[in-house]
Structure 1
Amino acid sequence: MRNIALFDLDHTLLPIDSDYEWGQFLARTGAVDADAFARRNAEFFAQYQAGTLDPVEYLEFALGTLAQFPNHQLDAMHQQFMHEVIHPALLPAARDLLQQHQDQQDLIAIITATNRFVTAPIAKALGVEHLIAAEPELDNHGKITGKLLGIPTSGQGKVIHLHQWLASQGKQLSDFPQSYFYSDSQNDIPLLSIVSHPVATNPNNKLRAHAEQLGWPIIHLFDAQ
């Protein structure tokens, strides 16, 4: 049976944080009040880096912003975001890592704390079919309401969502001979701890120290690291 390879997205496959950059994009293009939004976005990002972020509070702030716009406008803005911000950040090293697992015919999924609206086009651009992401609630017309469906896909939530996703396909993690998870953050230690091959990827200082203590592999995909 083939193996499974799981990837965090921001600062793992991307050298940037797509969620933070989406907020910066909205402020830069005048879609939201630039000063107020950038200030709030920066506060949340600092909390994320410190490991103190309340994920529901942040996600409903982000999704509430999306709820202000009709779907056709959101789609147009995201296309511009992909062109200006994301495509320049899709670097060969990340594509090569994905390709290694694709060549081995592994089951591949991106599992990210960022919401599906922001990340689904990015996963598609990376050639990854399966995405586990924070799910926005939609109304009967398919419009984002500003609320989060279920629990966040962060911390222990990634473990829960992974098990649910695998169960929906009639599988469990133990079915795979080898399981890989690539991540940059200590926030992902719960999921890193249950796979057979945890890989600290462009790790922050807290994850680097944890990985060194446990003898986990450490890799760097980007020149800035």
Structure 2
Amino acid sequence: MQLALFDLDNTLLAGDSDFQWGQFLISKGLLNEQEHLAKNIAFYEDYKAGRLDIYAFLDFQLKPLSEHPRHELEALHREYMAQKIRPMITDKARALVERHRQNGDLLVVITATNSFVTTPIAREFGIDHLIGTTPEEVDGKFTGKVTGTPSFQEGKITRLHEWLAGRDQSLSDFETTWFYSDSHNDLPLLKLVDKPVAVDPDPTLEAYAEEAGWPIISLR
């Protein structure tokens, strides 16, 4: 069996689900537009530059989850999927996932974005397995904090090993391992797998992929 790992934002999606979740909450009047948007843009620029403080970002990004009951958040997410996410899913992205599915590969979305936002998106692709940053819950309510290792940069490797160990597996159990990503933040995991693929890559990843001879594809 082969293992196919997919980054989500700007890889399988033609956009960023985390950023768009904030934009959606602003559109619903649930966040202050001026305050939230400025911070969101600043964090996104830090992410693209490879200097993101992941814990500071998560304190910012997970706070809205703590301010609403779970049933309200789930209703909001259904609307968000229709308005923001499905328009960002291209036929090429669906076809890539389907090729790996038809091959019988184990499919996993691995993303820094929190699992509340991303689990339904993975399901939209028909992918049952998700490794995302885990928001803390107490008595069924989000606290606004993170639990465990954020699935970001080297943390993706940590979380992948933990997930595989929970299945009594390791990377060596797979004939071939694939990872698709757009971001230089994912270089640690891209370097680990057998088949790294740069997808609509940022300039840093594009330069690295060209030098390393990795495939570069577009899902747009």
Instruction: Please report the TM-score for the alignment, with normalisation by the length of structure 2.
Output: 0.98
Contact 1:5 1:179 survives alignment (8 Å): yes
Counterpart of 1:193? 191
Counterpart of 1:42? 41
Contact 1:27 1:35 survives alignment (8 Å): no
Is 1:73 matched with 2:60? no
For residues 156-212 of structure 1, give each alpha carbon's deviation from its aligned partner in whole angstroms, at most 9, with x where no partner exists. Answer: 000000011001001000111100000000000000001000001111100000001
Cα distance between partner residues in 2 of 1:131 and 1:60: 21
Cα distance between partner residues in 1 of 2:52 and 2:22: 16
Is 1:160 matched with 2:175? no
Is 1:18 matched with 2:25? no
Is 1:126 matched with 2:125? yes
Cα distance between partner residues in 2 of 1:85 and 1:93: 18
The structural deviation recorded for 1:57 is 1.1
The structural deviation recorded for 1:40 is 1.1
Q: Which runs of 5+ in 2 are unaligned?
A: none
The structural deviation recorded for 1:96 is 0.3
Name the count of aligned residue pairs.
220
Counterpart of 1:60? 59
Cα distance between partner residues in 2 of 1:144 and 1:120: 15
Paired residue secondary structure (1:221): coil
Cα distance between partner residues in 1 of 2:201 and 2:69: 37
Please give the residue correspondences for 1:78-93 in structure 2 after superposition, counting only pairs within 5 Å: 78-93=77-92
Cα distance between partner residues in 1 of 2:7 and 2:50: 16
The structural deviation recorded for 1:150 is 1.1
Contact 1:110 1:123 survives alignment (8 Å): yes
The structural deviation recorded for 1:151 is 1.5
Counterpart of 2:137? 138
Structure 1 outlier segments of 4+, above 6 Å: none
Cα distance between partner residues in 1 of 2:67 and 2:180: 34
Report the AA paired with residue 29 of structure 1: K
Cα distance between partner residues in 2 of 1:38 and 1:75: 22
The structural deviation recorded for 1:29 is 1.8
Identity %: 47
Report the AA paired with residue 44 of structure 1: F
Report the AA paired with residue 48 of structure 1: Y
Cα distance between partner residues in 2 of 1:5 and 1:72: 32
Cα distance between partner residues in 1 of 2:48 and 2:91: 26
Paired residue secondary structure (1:67): helix
Let me know the Cα RMSD of the aligned residues. 0.7
Report the AA paired with residue 184 of structure 2: Q
For residues 19-51 of structure 1, give each alpha carbon's deviation from its aligned partner in whole angstroms, at most 9, with x where no partner exists. Answer: 001111111221111111111111111111111
Counterpart of 1:170? 168
Counterpart of 1:101? 100
Cα distance between partner residues in 2 of 1:105 and 1:11: 25
